[in-house]
Amino acid sequence: MDKIIEIKNLSKSFGDKKVLEDINLYIRRGEFITLLGPSGCGKTTLLRMIAGFLQPDEGSILMDGKELAGVPPHERPLNTVFQRYALFPHLDVYDNIAFGLKLKKVPEEEIEKRVRRVLKLVAMSDYEDRDVETLSGGQQQRIAIARAIVNQPKVLLLDEPLAALDLKMRKDMQIELKEMHKKLGITFIYVTHDQEEALTLSDTVVVLNEGRIQQIGTPVDIYNEPVNCFVADFIGESNILKGRMIRDRRVAFIKHEFDCVDEGFGEDVKVDVVVRPEDIYFTTDPAKCQFKAKVNSCIFKGVHYEMWVDTDTGYELMIQDYDPYPVGSEVMLYIDPDDIQVMKKERLCNTLYGTVKDAETVTLLDADFPLKSGFEPGTEVKVEIPFEAVDLMDNLDDGIIDGEVHFILYMGDHYHLTIKTDDGDFLWVDTNDIWDKGDLVGIRLNPENSKKEIKITKKDEQAQ
Amino acid sequence: MKKFFAKLYIWVLLVVLYAPLVFIAIFSFTESKVLGSWEGFSTDLYRNLLTGQMQGNASLLAAVKNTVLIALVAAAVSTLLGSVAAIGIHNMKGRAKKAVTFLNNIPMINPDIITGVSLFLLFVFLHFSQGYLTVILAHITFCTPYVVLSVMPKLQQMNPNIYEAALDLGATPQVALRKVLIPQLRPGMVSGFILAFTMSLDDFAVTFFTRGTIGLDTLSTYIYTDARKGGLTPELRPLMTLIFLVVLILLIIINIRQDRLSKLKENR
Amino acid sequence: MSKRSNWSIPYAIFLVFFVVLPLVLVMVYAFQDSQGHFTLGNLAKFFTDKDALSTFAVSIEVALENTALCILLGYPAAWILANKQYNKSAVTIVLFIMPMWINALMRTLATAQLFTMLGITLGKGTLLFGMVYDYLPFMIYPIYNVLAKMDKSYAEAAVDLGATPWTAFWKVTVPLSMPGVTSGILMVFMPTVSTFAISEFLTNNKIKLFGTIIQENINSSMWNYGAALAFVMLIIIGITTLFDKDKEQLEGGLI
C-alpha cells in the first residue's frame, strides 16, 4: 500500500488539557480523507500538526517515510486552505496566488502561466487584479484553494473550508472540490464537523471525539457499521438502544428478540444496538411482524416521512418511510437481521478511584461523598457507581460537585448523558429527565434510584 | 533563547521608563532642596505636603485641588455630553453622520497647543473673562471626543433589537433607555469617564492658555511656573510618589477585577 | 428611531462653537494686523524671520527623529507584547501605559533632573531621550492594538506558502500593521512639533521648539503673529492627516 503520511502514537496537550491522545493513522497517496468530529475533538489540532504549526508532544508524523517533526512549516511539501481563507488583504488576487511562487524565485513568466492556469481551474479567470476584500465568500474560497494548489503540493490540507458559506453555496463547492481532487490527483486532508459533507466528499472518514480516533472507514462503513454510540449518533439519525446478546446471531432489545448477523460477543452479554430509522419496516403480514407499535407523530421531511412510534413494550423509536401512517394507528413492524448493528458496551458503570475519609465519607474527584465503605480511613478504594445512581440537580448548590451536560443519547426509554465535571472528569448518567447540552448541573449520588448498588472495593494495586 | 531576548528587551524598556519615577520616589525621603544629594532619611517632606506647611509656595495644595476638581467636572460633563452624542451619531446616516464624526475627530488630532491657542482667541474675541469656567469648557472640548469613541463601540456591539424588545414588552422609551440602553453602554461610559478624567489631569497646554490671569493654577501650570522660577519645590517629590502609588493601587484593583470577570466568563 | 439621531444636535452645536469657530478665529487673526485690517504680513514675517524658520526646521527635525526612534523602539516592543508566546499577561501592557497616568511635566522634570544628577549636559541628546520617553507609549499602544487583533492565520498562511518566519514578518505582518504605525505617527509627530514646556525643561532652554515661539508670542500679546504661526501648524496637520485613512485604531481607548 502506498502510504504518503503515517501518524504514529501522536499525543498533544495544551496545559493540563489533553487534546489528542495516541493517534495512529495512515493516509494513502491520492485519497480524500476527512477528519470528522464535533468542535473541540482535536481535528484542527491534528491538521495543524501535519502542517507544522504545532509540534507533537509525543509520537511522530512521517511523510514518504521521513520524519516531519523538526521540519519547519515553510519547508513542508504541503499547503493549507485556511478556515477563514486568510487571504492577504494588502495584496490583490494575482499577488496572493503568486506569493508562494515568488518566494521560491520561480521566473516571472512561469509564475504568470501557473497563476493563469489555477485561476482557470477554480473558474476565476479575469479576477487577477481584484482586491481580495471585494470578493464574495465563495470567490475568496476559490482564491484560497488556488493560492495553495499553485505550489503543486503533494498534500492539500483543508481546514473547514466551507464553514463560512451558505448552504446552497456549500453544496456547489462540495461538488467542485470533489472534481478538483480528481483532476489534481493529489492527497486531500479535509477537516469538518459536518457529517454529511464528510460522507459526500471522502474516500476515507476518520471520526474523532475527545482527542481519540473513534472509527476509520469508508463513508458506507461508518454509516452502516458504527463501532460505538458516539459514531452512531454523530453520523446520521439512529435509534440507539440497550440490548443483550443472547448468543451468536441472536440479540434482545426493546424487550423483544431478534435475529442478527453479529457474532463473537459471547452469551448473555450486555450490548448497545443501533437501528437506522430507515431500516425499520412496516408490514401488514402478521407472520413477518416482529413487534407492534402505535404511531405518535408523523412529519413530512421532503423526501420521506419521519415518524415516532411507541412500541408495545414502552420504547420510543424513530422510523423513516416514504409512506405516512396516521397518528394513533396501530402498526406492525420488523427489522432485517442485516440492519441490526450490535456494539460492545463501552462501560457498564462509572468507575472512580478515591480514598476513604471516615466511616460515612469517601473522597472522590476531590470532593466528599457520603458513602459507607466499611474500610479504615485512608484506604484507597475503587467505587463503581451505576448510571442510575448519579443524581443531577438544577441548582448547582444542591450538588456535591458541578458539571456540564456534555453529550446526550436518547436510548428509546431514557436518556444516557455524559457529564463533564468542572475538573474535566467524565461521569455517565441514566435519567428520565430532559436536559440540554451545555446545561450546568449539580451532581450528587442517590443510590435509591438504582436497582444495582454502589460497589466499593479495595483498590487493586495491579489495576493501576 | 529568543524568548529570553524578547523578555530582556521589554524589561530594559520598562526599567528605563520607570527610572526617573523611582529616582524621584527615593529622593522624596530626604529633605535636601536639590535633587541628587542625600541628606539622610526623613519624612518631613511628606509631613509638609500633607499639612500644607511648605517652605516656599503654599499654593501647591490649592493647585492639586483645582486639578482634581476641574478633572471631575470636565469628565462628568464630557461623559454626559459624549454619551448622548454617541447615541445620536449612532442613529444618524449619510453625510450628516460623516460631518459630526469628522468634527469629533478634530480635537483629538489637534495638538494641545492649537486647541489652547484657538480657544484662547475665542475667549478673547468674545470678551469672555478667563478663569475656572473657561478652563473647564476647554477641557470638555478635548475630553468629549474620547468619550464618544469609548461609547460608540458599545453601541455597535449592541444587538439593535434589545431596545425594541424592551418597548415590545411594554417599556416606555424612557424606561427602555434607563433599564436597557444605559446598562449596556455603561462599560463604555465608565472607560470614557476615566479616559476624560486622566486627559484632563494630565493637560498642561490647554489650561495654560485658557486660565487667564486670575492666578488659577493646576498641578501642571504650577510645576511649569515653579520650574521656570528655577527650582522644583521639594514637596513635589512626595506628591509624585503618592500619585504614583494611587495610580498603581487603582490599576491593580482594576486588573484583579478584570481577571476575575474574564475567569468567570471562561468558566461559562 | 429617527428621532434619536437628534440627540447629537447639542454636541454638534458645541463642536461648532468650541472647535470650528476657534479654528476659524485662528485663521482670521492670522490674516489681520493689530488694527483688524486684512494683511499677509504675519505670514510674510514668519517666512522672512530666520530665527522662526530655523526653530521650525529644528522642530520638524526633532519630531522626525523622535518619531523614527519611537517606531524603532516601539514596534519590536509592541510585537513582543502582542505575541502570546512571549507575553501572556495583560499586566506588562498596563506597565507600559501606567507612566502616562502621571503628570507629563512631572515626569519630564524628573528625567531632566536625573540627567543633571548623572552629570549629563542637557541638550539635543537629552531632548530626544526625554521625547522618546514621553511618547513611546503612544507609539506602542496603537501598534500593539493592531498586532493583537491581527488574525494569526495570515502569518501562518505565508509560512505555509513557503516563507520563512522572517519573510512572513516583513511581507505580511508589517504591511498589515501599517494602520497602527500611522496612528502611532499621528500621536507622536505633531505633538512633538508643538510641545513647549518639555523642550524647555530637557534642554535648559537651549533648544526652542515651534510650540515655544507660539506660546511666547501669545503671552506677549502678539496674538496675530501667534495665530499665524498656529495657522502654519494647522496646515501641516492637514497634510499629515491625509496619510491617516484609518482612525479606528483609537477606538477602544487606552484602558
Say which CATH number the domain at C127 has: 1.10.3720.10
Q: Out of C151, C157, C162, name the one closest to residue A103 (CB).
A: C162
Specify the 3-state DSSP secondary structure of A62.
strand
Are residues C161 and A99, on separate chains, in Cβ contact within 8 Å? yes
Higher pLDDT, C118 or C11: C11
Among partner residues C160, C162, C167, which is closest to A51 by beta-carbon distance? C160
pLDDT at A268: 92
pLDDT digit string (tens) for B79-121? 999 999 999 999 888 888 999 999 998 898 888 899 999 999 9
Please give the order of strands across the beta sheet that includes A415-421.
A390-393, A440-445, A401-410, A415-421, A426-431
Q: Give CA–CA dist B23/B37, Å, rounded.
A: 12
Instruction: Report the alpha-carbon distance of residue A8 to residue A4 in Å, rounded.
Output: 13
Query: Looking at chain C, which residue has its C-alpha nearest residue A54?
Result: C156
For the cut 90, the answer to whether the pLDDT of residue C87 exceeds it is no
User: DSSP per residue over C89-122, as a string?
Assistant: -THHHHHHHGGGGS-HHHHHHHHHHHHHHHTPPP
> Is the CB of B261 inside 8 Å of chain C's CB atoms?
no
Q: What is the pLDDT at residue B117?
A: 93
**How many angstroms away from the CA of B68 is the closest CA of chain C?**
12
Distance between the two ends of chain B, CA-based, in angstroms? 37
- Per DSSP, the three-state class of A33 is strand
Range with the lowest mean pLDDT among A177-186, C16-25, C211-220?
C211-220
Q: Which of C3, C9, C11, C210 to mutate to test the interface with B (most CBs of B within 10 A)?
A: C11
C242 lies in a domain? yes
**Residue C27 within any structural domain of the chain:** no
> Which residues of chain A form CATH 2.40.50.140?
350-463
Please indicate, yes or no, if residue C60 is contained in any of the structural domains. Answer: yes
Contact B153 C255 (CB under 8 A): no
Q: Is residue C18 part of a domain?
A: no
* Mean predicted confidence (pLDDT) in A31-46: 94
**Which 3 state secondary structure label does DSSP give C31?**
coil
Task: Decide if C147 is inside a domain.
Answer: yes
Could you tell me the pLDDT band of residue C187, with boundaries at 50, 70 and 90? confident
Rounded CA-CA distance A378/A358 in Å is 8
With contact defined as 3+ CB pairs under 8 Å, the chains touching C are A, B
Minimum distance, in Å, between the CA of residue B66 and any CA atom of chain C: 14
Phi-psi region of B238 (alpha: psi -120 to 50; beta: other; left: phi over 0): alpha
Which member of C83, C103, C218 has the closest CB to residue B220?
A: C103
**Is A74 within 8 Å of chain C by CB?**
yes
Q: What is the pLDDT of residue A240?
A: 94
CATH 3.40.50.300 residue ranges of chain A are 3-229
* Chain C contact probe: residue of A53, A84, A115, A155 with most C CBs at under 10 A: A53
Question: Which residues of chain C lie closer than 8 angstroms to B195, CB-CB?
Answer: 253-255
At B157-199, the pLDDT tens digits run 888 788 888 888 888 888 888 888 888 899 899 999 988 998 8
Q: In terms of Cα–Cα distance, which of B41, B27, B12 is closest to B236?
A: B27
**Model pLDDT, residue B265:** 61
Which residues make Cβ contacts (< 8 Å) with residue B231, sequence separation at least 6? B33
**Residue C162: inside a domain:** yes
Q: What is the mean pLDDT of residues C162-188?
A: 91
Contacts of C133 in chain B (CB under 8 A): 16-17, 20
Q: Are strands A32-36 and A204-209 parallel, antiparallel or unpaired?
A: parallel
DSSP alpha helices (H): ranges in C83-209?
A: 91-97, 104-118, 124-149, 152-160, 165-168, 174-176, 178-194, 197-203
Question: What is the DSSP-derived secondary structure letter of residue A322?
Answer: S
DSSP conformation letters of A268-316: SEEEEEEE-GGGEEEES-TTT--EEEEEEEEEE-SSSEEEEEEETTS-E
Instruction: Give the closest residue to A456 by CA, choosing from A350, A367, A366.
Output: A350
Q: Report, as an integer, the average pLDDT of C160-181.
A: 93
pLDDT of residue C247: 44
pTM listed for this prediction:
0.81
Q: What is the architecture of the domain spanning A3-229?
A: 3-Layer(aba) Sandwich (3.40)
Q: Do C176 and A90 touch (CB under 8 A)?
A: yes
Per-residue model confidence (pLDDT) at position A464:
43
Q: Is B14 helix (H, G, I), strand (E, B) or coil?
A: helix
pLDDT tens-digit series, residues A86-98: 999 999 999 999 9
Averaged pLDDT, C17-44: 90
The whole domain housing C85 covers 50-219+228-250
Q: Which residues of B touch C223 (CB under 8 A)?
A: 121, 124
Place B263 in a pLDDT band, splitting at 50, 70 and 90: low
Tell me the ipTM for this assembly: 0.85
Burial A151-185 (b: 16+ CB within 10 A, else e): bebbbbbbbbbbeebeeeebeebbebbeebbeeee
Answer whether A103 sits within 8 Å of C175, measured CB to CB: no
pLDDT surpasses 50 at A373: yes
For residue C102, pLDDT over 90 is answered with: no
Cβ-defined contacts of C48-57 (< 8 Å, 24+): C52/C213, C52/C229, C55/C208, C55/C209, C55/C210, C55/C212, C55/C213, C56/C210, C56/C232
The answer to whether residue C177 scores a pLDDT higher than 90 is yes
Q: Which of residues 170-189 of C touch B (CB under 8 A)?
A: 186
Residue B55: band (very low, low, confident or very high) from pLDDT cuts 50, 70, 90:
low
Q: Do B36 and C20 touch (CB under 8 A)?
A: no
Substitution target in B8, B121, B164, B206 with the highest count of C β-carbons within 10 Å is: B121
Q: With cut-offs at 50, 70 and 90, classify the pLDDT of residue C167.
A: very high
Closest alpha carbon within chain A to C152: A86
Mutate to test the interface with A, among C161, C177, C178 (most CBs of A within 10 A): C161
Give residue-wise pLDDT tens across range A113-123.
Answer: 999 999 999 98
Q: Tell me the pLDDT of chain C averaged across its residues.
A: 86
Count up the domains in chain C and report the number: 1
For the domain spanning A350-463, the CATH number is: 2.40.50.140
Angstroms from C151 CA to nearest CA on chain A = 8
- The DSSP output letter for A370 is E
* Closest Cβ opposite residue B109 in set C80, C96, C241: C241
Indicate if the alpha-carbon torsion angle C219, C224, C227, C228 is positive or negative. negative
How confident is residue A28, by pLDDT bands cut at 50, 70 and 90?
A: very high
